[in-house]
Chain A
């Protein structure tokens, strides 16, 4: 706590000191979607960069949610006033790749003579954001879902201080928690991302055709197979029996975990930063890998989060500044700092080693959970990522049906069939646009 207060102070001082040193500097617009603790960290890294040199000033501007930030960038691009850098969530990857509006990052770096060792990027990140072996956007904040548990509530329910590792264990423990009067025995944020997209990759099941959209534009979802149905049936049973509490879309359900009401919870590893602050002095918590469903193969969890895209339409000297900023962000020192203070994955192998060497993971074992989980998994065509056009609408169609399933209005099979039918229609629209 003390350290973060200090670094916040430092950032504030740097921000105040900025105008004096930057009169003739080239301004670089950086639009992002980070809030709360994460938003402070983004401002901090921009301030650090600005203090490190005097030619460029990166202006970090918060533009709302991920979807709102992307929409703002679209509007600005159409009005010929695009930001230089825009943070786009993984869901928007295919939209950006197809758009013709971006300056690929590998090209930007080459044109500006800045070399970054792309091979040092961790595998899942490189494969998700590369096309033809070239990185199109700058890896920035990548996370993967993990499991959190409230140790105080576990004690109250007479459970051992150990995270569940399978869905059978989740069910067993959640039932005990529910019986002990815990309001939200098991809950999850990001319903589609965690419980559908990641669960498919994690069990080596296909999510969409064309290798989840990596071999060509996907046109068909595959989530209504035996695995998907079994997963949804489990959750629907939980909702009916009261040991699974549905808390809304996006990260809305995190409010329940933050308030100390959930026994077991699944969400992004980047939630560690917020939970650390919120739970301090209130309750003890721990983490574990995502639970596995027995009888299905081992795959890997999928990364989420966002990358930084460079928009076309700016001046060469401004792009030079963008390249310098990316070089700064990619440095081992900054990568290790960023991962250390946020809970996002360290994006380079060197940064992981640096965190290891500094004893950071020994002091903060929860931050190692996501890294361990990714290392233990097997990256297959089903778990390298998901690239869909109109993915925002597809995710929405899935979550709409999940709500029907959890409320008992539809069976798991019926809901998933409907989600697939609706999604296929949305995917077809995108494919027709870029055929």
Chain B
């Protein structure tokens, strides 16, 4: 790799300064502030601030509901990431074929990414709605089972998983398409000549060659499902029914911004941050070894 050498000593610093300023103002400062706040019992309007050490963390770790929320987040994140990537890869492989009107298909498939999570949620809310949704109406001809996500936890969870996958789908597809196009045709042709069928070709050549893309998307989708799906849960299920869809980020928001228990909420966001940092580190440590660049 060619090394760029700046003649001026200060220019490189000046060039990264804006980005650094943004990161400090919008990430490090709030992060340290919540770290500090997590050690206090704080009143909403800030008139009382009582240092309680790790009291907020103790309260959290003694609460079975918190561990249910951790479990829900992992299930949700795993479903969104694995199913989301599988569907995107399948459709990318199809969209990579030489068919008429390909450009139109690709554009249409990329579309959902342009939609905010909250709006994606509302669209699926209308599809699933127990009284005026299309899906319960169609299903009512097949079964007498009530798909009411106001009461049935698994229906609510399915709803937000589907909405999150759909929302993130365009992004995953774009990367997979680019990845597929970067695979040299000669390699695949050579495999064909050797007698490998389409399925064999996919698993022996395409999939391993796509592993950097998959790794990147995996990390990104996991972070997306832990954090950015907040808008979705907020707009659709509000964490319910019971606490069936109360993922960690929503819980932290609800206790802080609705319940106004600020220290308690800060402690949750600190734990959530540690958790995601640990997960990402683990992925780079272990999963990246299987990636061929």
Q: Does A251 contact B (CB under 8 A)?
A: no
CB–CB A434/B48 < 8 A: yes
Contact of B242 among A98, A390, A409 (CB under 8 A): A409
Taking A393-B261, A429-B264 as contacts, is the C-beta distance between A403 and B45 under 8 angstroms? no
B interface secondary structure, majority: loop
CB–CB A396/B259 < 8 A: yes
Number of chain B interface residues as a range = 20 to 34
CB distance from A412 to the nearest CB of B (A): 15
Q: Does A318 contact B (CB under 8 A)?
A: no
Contact of B260 among A74, A401, A404, A422 (CB under 8 A): A74
- In the complex, A409 Cα to B242 Cα: how many Å? 10
In the bound complex, residues from chain B placing their C-beta under 8 Å from that of A400 are 240, 242-243
CB distance from A209 to the nearest CB of B (A): 21
CB–CB B261/A183 < 8 A: no
CB–CB B260/A246 < 8 A: no
- In the complex, A95 Cα to B260 Cα: how many Å? 9
Taking A99-B45, A432-B41 as contacts, is the C-beta distance between A67 and B258 under 8 angstroms? yes
In the bound complex, residues from chain A placing their C-beta under 8 Å from that of B48 are 433-434
In the bound complex, residues from chain A placing their C-beta under 8 Å from that of B243 are 400
Taking A246-B151, A429-B261 as contacts, is the C-beta distance between A403 and B240 under 8 angstroms? yes
CB–CB A392/B131 < 8 A: no
Residue of B nearest to A403 (CB): B241
- In the complex, A77 Cα to B65 Cα: how many Å? 32
Residue of B nearest to A74 (CB): B44
Contact of B151 among A261, A406, A434 (CB under 8 A): A406
Q: Does B228 contact A (CB under 8 A)?
A: no
Q: Does A407 contact B (CB under 8 A)?
A: yes
Taking A246-B151, A393-B261 as contacts, is the C-beta distance between A95 and B240 under 8 angstroms? no
Number of A-B contacts (CB under 8 A): 91
Residue of A nearest to B42 (CB): A433
Bitwise, B29-71 to A at CB < 8 A (1) or not (0) is 0000000000001011111101000000001000001000000
CB–CB B258/A71 < 8 A: yes
Q: Does B105 contact A (CB under 8 A)?
A: no
Bitwise, A386-420 to B at CB < 8 A (1) or not (0) is 00001011001001110110110100000000000
CB–CB B258/A396 < 8 A: yes
Give the contacts of B7-47 with A (CB-CB under 8 A): 41, 43-47
Please indicate which of the listed interface residues B46, B150, B243 has the most CB atoms of chain A within 10 Å of its own CB.
B150
Give the contacts of A245-270 with B (CB-CB under 8 A): 246-249, 255-256, 259, 261
Please indicate which of the listed interface residues A71, A246, A248, A406 has the most CB atoms of chain B within 10 Å of its own CB.
A248
In the bound complex, residues from chain B placing their C-beta under 8 Å from that of A247 are 131, 150
CB–CB B43/A98 < 8 A: yes
In the bound complex, residues from chain A placing their C-beta under 8 Å from that of B44 are 74, 95, 99
CB–CB A101/B150 < 8 A: no
CB distance from A415 to the nearest CB of B (A): 9
In the bound complex, residues from chain A placing their C-beta under 8 Å from that of B255 are 393
- In the complex, A433 Cα to B45 Cα: how many Å? 12
Q: Does B254 contact A (CB under 8 A)?
A: yes
CB distance from B12 to the nearest CB of A (A): 36
CB–CB A390/B261 < 8 A: yes
Residue of B nearest to A311 (CB): B45
A interface secondary structure, majority: helix
CB–CB A249/B41 < 8 A: no
Q: Does A275 contact B (CB under 8 A)?
A: no
- In the complex, A153 Cα to B148 Cα: how many Å? 22
CB–CB B45/A396 < 8 A: no
Contact of B259 among A255, A259, A392 (CB under 8 A): A392
Bitwise, A60-101 to B at CB < 8 A (1) or not (0) is 000000011011001001100000000000000001001111
Q: Does A329 contact B (CB under 8 A)?
A: no
Please indicate which of the listed interface residues A70, A259, A404 has the most CB atoms of chain B within 10 Å of its own CB.
A404
- In the complex, A111 Cα to B238 Cα: how many Å? 44
Give the contacts of B245-275 with A (CB-CB under 8 A): 254-255, 257-261, 264
In the bound complex, residues from chain B placing their C-beta under 8 Å from that of A71 are 257-258, 260
In the bound complex, residues from chain A placing their C-beta under 8 Å from that of B238 are 248-249
CB–CB B151/A433 < 8 A: no
Bitwise, A217-256 to B at CB < 8 A (1) or not (0) is 0000000000000000000000100000011110000011
CB–CB B46/A78 < 8 A: yes
Taking A99-B43, A101-B45 as contacts, is the C-beta distance between A249 and B131 under 8 angstroms? no
CB–CB A70/B261 < 8 A: no
Bitwise, B130-158 to A at CB < 8 A (1) or not (0) is 01100000000000000010111100000
- In the complex, A70 Cα to B15 Cα: how many Å? 41
CB–CB B41/A407 < 8 A: no
Contact of A99 among B47, B50, B240 (CB under 8 A): B47
Residue of B nearest to A75 (CB): B257
CB–CB B131/A261 < 8 A: yes
CB–CB A100/B47 < 8 A: yes
In the bound complex, residues from chain A placing their C-beta under 8 Å from that of B47 are 99-101
- In the complex, A361 Cα to B227 Cα: how many Å? 52
Give the contacts of A89-132 with B (CB-CB under 8 A): 95, 98-101
In the bound complex, residues from chain B placing their C-beta under 8 Å from that of A174 are none
CB–CB B254/A396 < 8 A: yes
Q: Does A11 contact B (CB under 8 A)?
A: no
- In the complex, A259 Cα to B133 Cα: how many Å? 13
Please indicate which of the listed interface residues A68, A95, A432, A433 has the most CB atoms of chain B within 10 Å of its own CB.
A433
Contact of A407 among B50, B241, B260, B264 (CB under 8 A): B241
In the bound complex, residues from chain B placing their C-beta under 8 Å from that of A403 are 150-151, 240-242
Q: Does A184 contact B (CB under 8 A)?
A: yes
Residue of B nearest to A418 (CB): B65
CB–CB B131/A183 < 8 A: yes
Residue of A nearest to B237 (CB): A248
Taking A74-B45, A249-B240, A433-B41 as contacts, is the C-beta distance between A393 and B131 under 8 angstroms? no
In the bound complex, residues from chain B placing their C-beta under 8 Å from that of A70 are 260
CB distance from B51 to the nearest CB of A (A): 12
CB distance from A165 to the nearest CB of B (A): 27
Taking A184-B131, A433-B43 as contacts, is the C-beta distance between A390 and B260 under 8 angstroms? yes
Q: List 19 A-B contacts (CB under 8 A).
A: A67-B257, A77-B45, A99-B43, A100-B47, A101-B45, A101-B47, A239-B151, A259-B131, A393-B261, A403-B240, A404-B241, A404-B242, A407-B241, A409-B242, A422-B65, A425-B59, A429-B59, A432-B41, A433-B43
20 additional contacts, CB 8 Å, given A246-B148, A247-B131, A249-B240? A67-B258, A74-B260, A77-B45, A77-B46, A95-B44, A98-B43, A184-B131, A246-B150, A248-B238, A249-B238, A259-B132, A390-B261, A396-B258, A400-B243, A401-B242, A404-B242, A407-B153, A426-B259, A432-B41, A433-B41
